Amino acid sequence: MNAAAHRRDTGSRRALPRRRATRTLAAGLLIVSLGACDALPVLPGGGRSASESPSAAAEPMDPEQVTTTASTATDPSWLCRPGEGESPLPSSTEGGTLTPETVSAEGNDLTISGPFRLAADHSYTGFRPEGVLLPAAPENRGIPAPGFDGELGVQGAPVPPMVVRERVEVAADEGEPAPSSATAHLTLGTCDDAPLRQGQFLLRLSGGGVDGPGRGKDDAGWAASGDVLVDVVEGRLRVVPGAISAPSGEIPADLSALACRAPLEAVGDGDGLTVAVEDPTTRVSTVVPEDELGTAITARVTVTAQELGTRALLQGVVVVNPSTGTVVSGARNAPDVSLQWIDEDGVSRTDHAWVSRSTCGRDALSAGSYRAHGFGVTVDAEGATHVVLSDPWEVEVVDEEPAA
């Protein structure tokens, strides 16, 4: 799953901010309005003016202090009633960059922290985050869902299922250096005060608090280096483990238990996953019918989870030699696991393990009896890989012409 890159249209004040770096990430939309500067609480960590040297950079913002500071209410009416208000988004986001590194969520509150860099010839006047939460496309969770990849807040645009209702604003005295890292704390809600809708969303973060050179400097702003994938499950925000460190939408996993000739065994405690198979192949020939690529052992593999939402997930079919217990077909050698959404029905796919080619030995398996499993692989929040196996089933491999 590769995220498509989007950049903000700097020629229109009401243009939807576009993605500035390739990202992943897990349906709804989130925006927060600008607040008055004189209402900003003063927190540690200021900004750096263009005339100051890099050595004058301030200490990072304290995320804990940001999250415990009183929030300021925002007005999302320009999104809730498209075409009736002006977008609060800055016309330019070239004034600075926030690189998301950590994300936390509790209830309706979302906190994002990471290094903050102020562009040359710009000065820091405070930190006022703006956010757009776009529903992720089901087939590619790194890009917005259809209908949410254009301009928002204008007449005819979709009304977002989620908007920012509050945010923490951080003030800075004139001449203060920019913080080396910044924290955005947002409280989400809906236009009609309904519960948050379940699904996967891409947070596109930007904001004000930057003065640019020349005229119109008050319109300068900053943007995050990439989108952040978050979930809403049972009306509450949930962070996607590993999404921040996986700009391709895939998370590194230890698949050594599924490598060719490795002894097949479950790894870890399963992290709440259950694996089951349907319609498994029990007899297959090594003789390949005309106009087919090969013969294989197939099954529909379903993975369910105790907790719903996005997680790293790989599923498939693997075959072992029962006399040695080692993998002979269906091995997985790629080191990455894709991010997938698991709902109440789990995730199902039909997979195959080749018999006539691409095995771990010769081009085809020898005739005989084999044992097959469905498997599921996940990576937990601590980065540990879990390999879960289904109950095995017996497969007979023959060298005969397949039955018509």
When the pLDDT of each residue in the chain is averaged and rounded to a whole number, the result is 84
Closest to 48 measured CA to CA, from 117, 150, 132:
117
Interacting residues of 206 by C-beta distance below 8 A, sequence separation 6+? 8, 17, 89, 90, 93, 129, 130, 131, 132, 221, 222, 223, 224
Asked if residue 354 and residue 219 are part of one domain, the reply reads no
Asked if residue 50 and residue 153 are part of one domain, the reply reads yes
Domain boundary among 204, 239, 274: 239
pLDDT of 345: 93
- Structural domain contains residue 12: no
Domain boundary among 219, 239, 259: 239
Q: Once rounded to an integer, what is the mean pLDDT over residues 342-346?
A: 92
Per the structure block, which two tokens stand in for 86?
A: 């002006």
Domain holding 77, by residue range, is: 37-239
Asked if residue 259 and residue 216 are part of one domain, the reply reads no
Secondary structure (DSSP) of 119-160: PTT-EEEEEEEEEEEEEEETTEEEEEPTTSSS--SSTTPPPP
Q: How confident is the model at residue 24 (pLDDT cuts 50, 70, 90)?
A: very low
Q: How confident is the model at residue 62 (pLDDT cuts 50, 70, 90)?
A: very high
Asked if residue 129 and residue 193 are part of one domain, the reply reads yes
Q: Is the pLDDT of residue 7 over 60?
A: no
How far, in Å, CA of 297 to CA of 380, rounded? Answer: 29
pLDDT of 400: 83
Q: Is the pLDDT of residue 61 over 70?
A: yes
Question: What domain count does the chain have?
Answer: 2
Q: How confident is the model at residue 219 (pLDDT cuts 50, 70, 90)?
A: low
Domain boundary among 184, 205, 239: 239
Higher pLDDT, 209 or 394: 394
Least confident of 5-9, 66-70, 211-215, 283-287: 5-9
Q: What is the pTM of this model?
A: 0.75
- Structural domain contains residue 28: no
Q: Is the pLDDT of residue 128 over 90?
A: yes
pLDDT digits (tens, 9 = 90+) for 96-105: 999 999 999 9
- Structural domain contains residue 264: yes
Q: ∠ at Cα 171 (70, 73), nearest 5°?
A: 40
CATH number at residue 290: 2.60.40.3880
pLDDT of 38: 31
Interacting residues of 218 by C-beta distance below 8 A, sequence separation 6+? 211
Closest to 254 measured CA to CA, from 335, 374, 313, 331:
335
Backbone angles phi, psi at 79, to 5 degrees: -95, -35
Higher pLDDT, 151 or 55: 151
Tell me the β-bridge partners of 327: 320
pLDDT of 23: 34
How far, in Å, CA of 366 to CA of 311, rounded? Answer: 37
